[in-house]
Amino acid sequence: MPKTKKTGASIEDLSQQVTQLRRRVAAFDPSPITSDLESATIRKFVDESGKLLSELRELREAVSPVHFGAIGISLGRSDGIAKFFAFSFVNQPKRPLTELSDAPFYGSGVYAIYYVGRGEKAYKPLSATETPIYVGKSTPENANAETVEEQGQALYKRLKEHAKNIGKTKLDLTDFEYRAAPIQTGMQGAVEEFMIRLFRPIWNKEMKICFGIGKHGDSASTRRNKRSPWDTMHPGRSWADATVEDQMSRTEIETKISAHFKVYPVIPNKDELFQHLALG
C-alpha cells in the first residue's frame, strides 16, 4: 500500500539521519571550545531532542500491537529510592540558617539551602520558591553507621560550615533557609545526584556557574588556583581574596545566572514541584 511505503520510507529516513548525527557527535571534539557546549544551539538541541524522544515513545505505544507501558518507580533503582526521599524531604519545613547554633542534631545525608531574600538581584528569581540555591550531602563519620547517632553530626557540621562562609561575606545570613534529612548510610550520593538533576542549583559545581562555596582554603602563595566564581560574587574569605585572578568576572557570572533561569525556570511552589517529581 502506498501509505505504508511512505511511512516506511519516512521512518527509514529518520533512522538514517539519527545515525549520521551520532557519527558527527562521536567525531566532534569539544575540548578546544568548551563554551560551545553551553551555547544556545546545544541547549536547543537538548530540549528539542527530549521532546522528540517523548513523542516517539508515545507514537510507538499507540501503534504497537503489544503495549510497552512504563515503570514509574522501582525500589531496585537508586533513582526510585531518591524520588521517594525527595517527596519526604520537600514536605518538611524550611528552617533559618541562623538557628543552626540553637538546634544541633545527629545524622548524615542530604541538605538544601534556599535563598529567601530580595537584596541580591541575581538571586531574586529563587526567593521564596522551591528551587534551592545549593544542594549537598554529608558523609557519616562512621562508614558502617546504622543509626543517626552512629552517623554523627555530619549534616549539622556541614551546614554550620556553609553558614560560617556566608557570614564572612556581605550576604545576609537571615536571607537563607535550609532543609536537611538523615538518610541510610551509603545512599547520600545517589540522592544528592538526583536532587541536583531535579533542581539544577546555581551554586553547585555541576552547573558551572557560581560554584565554590564548598572550597576550603587555598594558599595563594603555594597554589596557582584562580578565584572561584562564588568568591568573586561574594568576597570575604581571606584566602580567596588573596587570589589574584578570577575564573569568571562578576558580570559573566550574573549573565550566566540569568541565562540559566531562562532555560531552567525555578519551581515556584510545592504543587509544581510534586508535578516535577511525578513526571521526572
The H-or-E segment that residue 161 falls in is: helix 154-167
155 and 117 housed in the same domain: yes
148 and 41 housed in the same domain: no
User: Which stretches within 200-263 are classed as H helix?
Assistant: 229-233, 238-241, 250-263
Is 163:156 a contact under the CB 8 Å cutoff? no
100 and 14 housed in the same domain: no
Please check whether residue 70 lies inside any domain of the structure. no
Give the range of the structural domain holding residue 160, as residue numbers without chain letter: 78-279
pLDDT at 247: 96
54 and 135 housed in the same domain: no
Q: What pTM was computed for the model?
A: 0.72
96 and 199 housed in the same domain: yes
Please check whether residue 53 lies inside any domain of the structure. yes
pLDDT at 33: 45
CB atoms within 10 A of CB 58: 10
Over residues 165-184, the mean pLDDT reads 95
110 and 219 housed in the same domain: yes
Q: Work out how many domains the chain is built from and give that number.
A: 2
Please choose, from the candidates 179, 214, 28, 164, the residue with its C-alpha nearest in 3D space to the C-alpha of residue 93: 179
The 10s digit of each residue's pLDDT in 184-221 is 898 889 899 999 999 999 999 999 999 999 886 655 45
Please check whether residue 188 lies inside any domain of the structure. yes
103 and 168 housed in the same domain: yes
